[in-house]
Structure 1
C-alpha cells in the first residue's frame, strides 16, 4: 500500500453530499498529516496526457542551440526554457540535474495582469506544442480549483473562498526533463529536497520510483501514483495561510540506481499560484493558544519574489 492516501475528485463534484463530505474530510486529513494525496477523477484525458508527453519529448530532443534560443533573459525563468543545472534548491549551491520549460497564465479580461505577466513563448519548430500545453494548463487549473474548494470547506471557509484569488493567477505548468546521468554526480540530485512555493502543486508523471516525501517522523517515503492519478501537495503559500495546519512537505527527486542512469525521466508539475495581491496572512481560525501565529503578514507576490531570489532565478 502506498504511503500517500488516494482520493477521487468525482466524489467532490458528484451531486451526493455524503461523497462530497467524505472527499473533503479525506483530503483535509491527508494534507494535515503528510501534505500529499494521489488524486483520480481529474479533468485530464488520456489522449491529452499522451499528446503532451509526445510534444515535450520532441522539444527536449531538439538541438541545444535551438532550445537555448528559447531561454528568455530577465524574467527569472518564468516563461520558456531553463537550461540544465541552472536552478538549485533553497540553501544549496549545486544545480539540479534537470532542464525545463514554463507555460504561464492565459489571462482573460484583465489588461493589468496581461501587462504584468510575461508572454508565453511560441516554439516554431513544433506546431502542436503550445496548443497542447495550453489545454493541459487549463485542465489542471480547473482540477486545482475544485481541490481548493474542498480545502476551503475543510477550513470552514466559504467554498469559493479561493476562486477570486486564483482566477488569472500566476500559475506555472513546468514540463521537466531529467536527462540520462553520464558520470557520478557530485552532491547533485535530479531535484534536491525542497518545499514548493505556491498554494498547491499538481504533478503528472509520479508513476515510477524517484519522488520521495519526508513524513512527520523524518523518514523518506516513496510517492508513487497510478497512471490515472495526479500527485497533489500543499505548497508554502497555503501552509502560511493556514498557519501550518496544512503541511507543505519537504520532497525530492532522487537519482535512479546506476543501472538506470542511461534513461531519461519526465515529470510535469502544475504550480497553482494566486494573483500577486492575495494576502497570505494566517487565517484567524488557524490561530489559537496551542498554535500561535507562526508567520508574518505578506502578499503572494512579495513572497514569490523572495523565494525566486533564494532559488537563484532572480537577482536581488
Structure 2
C-alpha cells in the first residue's frame, strides 16, 4: 500500500466498495482525506438523469434577465437562500470578489420546527418549471451520499459507523448552484479565490470543466482531475476542527480558463453538508496526542461558527 506521504495526486475511490468492504473503503478514502483534504468518488449513487435535469434547470435560471434574478436576492440574508449576484462573495482575507453568481437551496423544514430560526425558508423561482421538485430531490440524494462518506470517515477515525448520524440530523446543509460566466482576458480576479469551506464535507458535481486546484503541502497548486460523472469531496473547517486537523480543510480555488475556453461558462453544484445548528464542535479526544495537542480547546456550536465565517467572506 502506498504511503500517505507518497501520494502525488488525489486518488479515485468507488463508493460501491463501501458496501462490499466498508473497512477497506474507509481506509482508502480516509487516507486521501488525510493526505490532501480531498477525495474523488466514483459510483456515488446520485442518478445521472437527476444530475442532467438539475444542470438544465440551473442553466435556465442563470439565463434569466438580471432584474428577474435579483428579485430573489435577500438583502441581509447572508446569502443563505435564493440568489447571490455576480461578484459579491469574496474569499476570506481577499479583496477582489469572485467571478461567479449562485443560488442556494436549504433544507425544507415543517412549520414550527426547532431550527426554523436558524434555517430560513427556501425561495423558489416561478420562471423555471420543476425547479423546486428537482432540487429537493437532488438535495436528498446528496445527503444520502454524504452520510455514507461520513460513515467511512467515522470508521477511519476509529468511531462507530453511525457516529455522525446525530450530528447531521436536520443539519443546516446547503445545495449551491454555481455559474461562472464567460470571461475576457482582462477579467479582474479569478472565478473563485483561494478559500476553505466552512462545513463538515463538501460534495461537488460539475468539476469536469477544468480549473479546480488545491494547495498541496509543498505550497504548490495541484489540479484536481476527475473522470466524467465522478464526485469531488473535500473536508471543511468544521470537520478539521473536530478532528484536530488530522483531516485538513485544504485551501482550493477555481482558476480562469485558458484562452480557448474563455468563451465558455462553467457550471457546478456543490453540496455543503453541515451539522445541525446546535451541534457542539468539540475536539475528538482520540485526535489529541502529545505530538498533536488540542488546537481548538474552546468548543463552539455549528451555527455560531457558521455565522462567524459568513461575516469573514463578506456575506454577512
Scaled to the shorter chain, the TM-score interval is over 0.9
**Residue 44 of structure 2 aligns with which residue?**
42
How many angstroms does 1:129 deviate by?
1.1
Cα distance in 1 between the residues matched to 2:117 and 2:89: 26
Cα distance in 1 between the residues matched to 2:108 and 2:280: 22
C-alpha spacing 1:38/1:109, structure 2 compared with 1 (3 Å): farther
TM-score by length of 1: 0.95
Matches within 5 A, 1:291-310: 291-295=292-296, 296-310=298-312
C-alpha spacing 1:109/1:28, structure 2 compared with 1 (3 Å): farther
Corresponding residue SS for 1:112: coil
**Residue 9 of structure 1 aligns with which residue?**
15
TM-score by length of 2: 0.95
**Residue 118 of structure 1 aligns with which residue?**
120
RMSD of the alignment, in Å? 1.5
Corresponding residue SS for 1:217: coil
Deviation digits for residues 143-190 of structure 1 (CA, Å, limit 9, x no counterpart): 00010011111111121111111111000000100001135123x110
Q: Which runs of 5+ in 2 are unaligned?
A: 1-6
* Conserved 8 A contact 1:208-1:224: no
Matches within 5 A, 1:271-282: 271-282=272-283
Deviation digits for residues 15-71 of structure 1 (CA, Å, limit 9, x no counterpart): x3xx21110001111111001111122221110011011100000000000000011
Q: Which runs of 5+ in 1 are unaligned?
A: none
**Residue 257 of structure 1 aligns with which residue?**
258
Deviation digits for residues 179-221 of structure 1 (CA, Å, limit 9, x no counterpart): 01135123x1100000100000000011131000111111111
**Residue 183 of structure 2 aligns with which residue?**
181
Cα distance in 2 between the residues matched to 1:103 and 1:45: 19
How many angstroms does 1:108 deviate by?
6.0
Cα distance in 2 between the residues matched to 1:70 and 1:2: 43
* Conserved 8 A contact 1:213-1:251: yes
* Conserved 8 A contact 2:54-2:138: yes
C-alpha spacing 1:203/1:2, structure 2 compared with 1 (3 Å): farther
C-alpha spacing 1:159/1:56, structure 2 compared with 1 (3 Å): same
Ranges of 4+ aligned residues in structure 1 off by more than 3 Å: none
* Conserved 8 A contact 1:108-1:168: no
Matches within 5 A, 1:1-316: 3-12=9-18, 14=19, 16=20, 19-107=21-109, 111-182=113-184, 184-186=186-188, 188-295=189-296, 296-314=298-316
How many angstroms does 1:297 deviate by?
1.8
Corresponding residue SS for 1:113: coil
